[in-house]
Structure 1
Amino acid sequence: MVRPVESRVDSVMRTIHERLAARSLVPGERLPSIRQLAEQLHLSKTTVVEAYDRLTADGVIEARRGSGFYVCGHPPPLSLSDVGPALDRSIDPLWISRQSLEAAEDTLKPGCGWLPQSWLPDTEIRRALRQIAREPHSSLLEYGRPYGHPALREQLARRLAEHGVAVGAQQIVLTDSGTQAIDLICRFLLEPGDKVLVDDPGYFNFQALLRAHRVQVLGVPYTPSGPDIEALAGILEQQRPRLYITNSAFHNPTGAVLSPLVAHRLLKLAEAHDLLIVEDDIFADFERENAPRLSAFDGLERVIQVGSFSKTLSASVRCGYIAARPDWCEQLVDLKLATSFGNSPFSAELLHELLRKGSYRRHVEGMRGRLADAMGETLVQLRRLGIQPWLEPRGGIFVWATLPDGLDAAEVSRAALAEGVVLAPGNVFSLSQSCGGFLRFNVAQCPPRVFEVLERAMARTLL
């Protein structure tokens, strides 16, 4: 479909609307002068005058004689789709999430980020539910403790120790999910306008969540061994970001694992530039061998670790955690109470029961074997189609791969969606929009029909 060419006047109006949506312009604030905005946007004064006149006629701004132009009224409700550049819906991350969540039962979802229901321990969860229901002192009716279920926090402390993270239960705060954990941390550490680093490519929901906090999101190129350290050093020197959010084990979307050397250099840079780090460890239980952890090397001084069990146990059992410095945990608990009045004690008790009885451990061991088989088969099928993995993952659920012949992943994804297959095109994950030839595949969601549809979609795109 051919899109209409945007005029220069429309471009100026869109820029103002985006600034309003992002709250970088607020009611009563003076806009840049006509000359200033013309210089900023490299446009003529006449173009800016016409744009300001139209915005005035629309009631968006007002002219004050001898003073300039000012924002009118109240700001519009926050719309994430209006914050940042306009994206084609096929590479809009929130749209991809909606497609995966709302898809019909027969839709195939190799672009989603979770395991099929048939891979999850349904029988064990039901057995644990029955056990909890029989307990006279279960948490079926309670709000729960401010920090969360004490016995579960003890269990999580022991699990973190297996990854080299020395932490006591008093340094663990339970949340309802990994996403809620990061949201609380952003509320705690960030102010609107702060700069935050994410990987490029990196998990798309980090970008969406940060836009909701009205911060400036910066991308650092990601390599097979971690963030590009030279690029990171330049960004830290020039931009002075407050926070960096990343994965260390089975990075999303690339499947890469952080190397010890890169981890060491990253922490040295963080110390030199007063950078705080959030390490999202949601894929920890997919590992057969432990990858380096920033939180282990750092001792939770400037690194905060978050995690959850949504990917490995059940998306409906909402239970995540934050591991951080004790003084920060105290303040995070207050913030949790202020915004959600706690987390689900029922989910926490269910998870505690599964961990205590060994059901979860047995499930994870079997899941790793299935994933290894699925990874091998997926790599074979992709290479048969001329799709080359960026690297061969050591485990996990994702393969990050390049399409052949300069094919555009968004176009291929649109063609596949017409046949009931939801793909994840590369630019969904790229802040710089530099991954147009990549797709992310979830190996657990790749039955043979996926590759049949993918082959036809690629062929149609080449026509």
Structure 2
Amino acid sequence: MQAIRRLVAHHALTPGDKLPSIRKFARDMAVSPSTVVEAYDRLAAEGLIRSRLGSGFYVLANAVAPRTADVAPPIDRAVDPFWVSRQSLDAGREMLRPGCGWLPPDWMPLAAIRRAMRAVAKTDDAVLVEYGSTRGSLALRRLLARQCLSEGIEIGAEQVLLTMSGTHAIDLICRHLLRPGDTVLVDDPCYFNFRALLQVHSVRIVGVPYTPAGPDIALFEEALAAHRPRLYLTNSALHNPTGASLSPQTAHRLLTAAAANDVTIVEDEIFADFEPEPSARLAALDGLNRVIRIGSFSKTLSASIRCGYIAAREDLIDSLIDLQLAIGFGGPSPVAAELVLRTLGDGSYTKHLNGLRVRLARRRREMIAELAKLDVRPWTLPRGGFYLWCQLPRATDASDVATRALREGVVLAPGNVFSVTQTATEFMRFNVAQMDSDVLKRLQRALEQPAIPSLP
């Protein structure tokens, strides 16, 4: 294959030229004819050559295409939710990413995933090549329903719908319940992609200040009366970005206010498994009457195996099935669902979670101590998870620091990308699992550098 590529690159073979016969090339390369057949087949699959029945193999006209490198995300665009997502996802392996929202590969259950992949490769042919059912894997939905039952939420598998991701789950709910111009309440600060997704749906976004015990309930009630929202979108367990946990008192008042104002609550449970002990859950207190639970496995299992879920009233699930069919002809890949099922069912997964909690607790303590040396202080002390929501020193603009840090090879997540009201200028979200001494040194340089002048 390399020999043919060199001949094409040096124009010894040009578009339209016939390649040497299989037997001749096998003699020239001192390999078997079957090896040449496989090499030619692979080159054809790459689009370098093609076969003409009974005639041989020929170089394609577009074989010598210009090579282009991946385009890096622009540094000088507005620092908004899309800026953080692009920088985090498109960063090269040499970039340090304490601003991203996932754990490093060596923190994940790689051995269990590989065992699951080997098992899935031997499973029924239909799983490997056919569409899945409209609700997704029954076995995985039963497992998720049992998890809900362990929290006191009495549901069956028919009240669980598998989706292509947690974000896809929110998108389905928004498509079904919202119309352009509707109002949605979010926490301020909130997960930045909530803002990005809601903007796509052309709705009005209203932020409610978040406290260490949950949303400011007095201001939440005022927002309900003033704006008449259709939805409230939140994380209850280990809130993103603050790491705070909802108190039972706040949860009770929140549900009472939502019921009085006919507001549907979407509770994102993606960080729940990082808690050492479960905090108050809106879905458990409400029984999935007014609350819709969503989640995925990207934080504890794999962001590459795309599979999320929705747990809700059966009538809502039925409507969402039709919507998911219309826009995607079903939910997650049956292969992805089977991988999740087999990994969650592996006895090692519980040990993995227990180990993660211990390891993260130790890393949080270490990073809190190291950040304090830079006069960077956490807003609250999370009970679990991998985020620290920190205030920077001396009225520092976090967006300026993030831009300077990017030039140091570090991707950060500045506060205002999480804030609807843009009142988190001095805050930064740090992923402690992605931090080490090198990150801290570069962060210190970014904090000490003068601000970058804004573009005209």
Question: Do they superpose with TM above 0.5?
Answer: yes
Q: Is the 8 A contact 1:157 1:169 kept in 2?
A: yes
Q: Is the 8 A contact 1:224 1:257 kept in 2?
A: yes
Counterpart of 1:157 (choices 121, 145, 161) is: 145
Q: Is the 8 A contact 2:112 2:346 kept in 1?
A: no
Counterpart of 1:100 (choices 88, 92, 102) is: 88
Tell me, in whole angstroms, the C-alpha distance in 1 between the residues paired with 2:346 and 2:125: 18
Tell me, in whole angstroms, the C-alpha distance in 1 between the residues paired with 2:375 and 2:451: 14
- Structure 1 residue matching 2:98: 3-state secondary structure: coil
Give the deviation of 1:462 after TM superposition: 7.3
- Structure 1 residue aligned with 2:369: 380
Counterpart of 1:413 (choices 402, 412, 421) is: 402
Counterpart of 2:216 (choices 220, 228, 245) is: 228
Tell me, in whole angstroms, the C-alpha distance in 2 between the residues paired with 1:324 and 1:229: 24
Q: Is the 8 A contact 1:193 1:214 kept in 2?
A: yes
- Structure 1 residue aligned with 2:97: 109
Asked if residue 245 in structure 1 is aligned to residue 233 in structure 2, the reply is yes
- Structure 2 residue aligned with 1:185: 173
Tell me, in whole angstroms, the C-alpha distance in 2 between the residues paired with 1:134 and 1:255: 41
Give the deviation of 1:311 after TM superposition: 1.1
Tell me, in whole angstroms, the C-alpha distance in 2 between the residues paired with 1:219 and 1:136: 48
Deviations 1:386-432 (CA, angstroms, capped at 9, x unpaired):
11110111111100010111111111111111110111110010010
Task: Kindly report which structure 2 residues correspond to 1:291-302, keeping only aligned pairs within 5 A, or say none.
Answer: 291-302=279-290
- Structure 2 residue aligned with 1:13: none
Give the deviation of 1:357 after TM superposition: 2.4
Q: Is the 8 A contact 1:90 1:410 kept in 2?
A: no
| Unmatched runs of 5 consecutive residues or more in structure 1 | 1-87
Asked if residue 366 in structure 1 is aligned to residue 364 in structure 2, the reply is no
- Structure 2 residue aligned with 1:323: 311
Counterpart of 2:344 (choices 331, 355, 362) is: 355
Which amino acid in 2 is paired with 1:398? Y
Provide the TM-score with structure 2 as the length reference. 0.81
- Structure 2 residue aligned with 1:447: 436
Tell me, in whole angstroms, the C-alpha distance in 2 between the residues paired with 1:359 and 1:152: 17
Task: Kindly report which structure 2 residues correspond to 1:249-328, keeping only aligned pairs within 5 A, or say none.
Answer: 249-328=237-316
After the TM superposition, list the runs of 4 or more consecutive aligned residues in structure 1 that deviate by more than 4 angstroms. none
- Structure 1 residue matching 2:128: 3-state secondary structure: coil
Q: Is the 8 A contact 1:119 1:367 kept in 2?
A: yes
Give the deviation of 1:134 after TM superposition: 1.6
Counterpart of 1:346 (choices 331, 335, 338) is: 335
Q: Is the 8 A contact 1:111 1:441 kept in 2?
A: yes
- Structure 1 residue aligned with 2:59: none
- Structure 2 residue aligned with 1:396: 385
Give the deviation of 1:133 after TM superposition: 1.3
Which amino acid in 2 is paired with 1:449? D
Which amino acid in 2 is paired with 1:374? R
RMSD: 1.5
Asked if residue 211 in structure 1 is aligned to residue 199 in structure 2, the reply is yes
- Answer with 98-107 or 255-264: which moved more: 98-107
- Structure 2 residue aligned with 1:141: 129
Deviations 1:29-79 (CA, angstroms, capped at 9, x unpaired):
xxxxxxxxxxxxxxxxxxxxxxxxxxxxxxxxxxxxxxxxxxxxxxxxxxx
Tell me, in whole angstroms, the C-alpha distance in 1 between the residues paired with 2:449 and 2:109: 39
Provide the TM-score with structure 1 as the length reference. 0.79
Which amino acid in 2 is paired with 1:277? I
Count of paired positions: 377
- Answer with 119-128 or 419-428: which moved more: 119-128
Q: Is the 8 A contact 1:407 1:461 kept in 2?
A: no
- Structure 1 residue aligned with 2:26: none
Deviations 1:348-383 (CA, angstroms, capped at 9, x unpaired):
111111122223222222211211111111111111
- Structure 1 residue matching 2:294: 3-state secondary structure: strand
Give the deviation of 1:321 after TM superposition: 0.3
- Structure 1 residue matching 2:207: 3-state secondary structure: strand
Tell me, in whole angstroms, the C-alpha distance in 2 between the residues paired with 1:389 and 1:161: 35
Which amino acid in 2 is paired with 1:207? R
Give the deviation of 1:162 after TM superposition: 2.8
Q: Is the 8 A contact 2:364 2:386 kept in 1?
A: yes
- Structure 2 residue matching 1:439: 3-state secondary structure: strand
Q: Looking at CA atoms only, which structure, 1 or 2, has the larger radius of gyration?
A: 2
- Structure 2 residue aligned with 1:61: none
Which amino acid in 1 is paired with 2:318? E
Counterpart of 2:190 (choices 202, 210, 216) is: 202
- Structure 1 residue aligned with 2:57: none
Which amino acid in 2 is paired with 1:364? L
Counterpart of 2:413 (choices 421, 424, 427) is: 424
Deviations 1:95-151 (CA, angstroms, capped at 9, x unpaired):
111111111111110011110111112222111111111224561111111111001
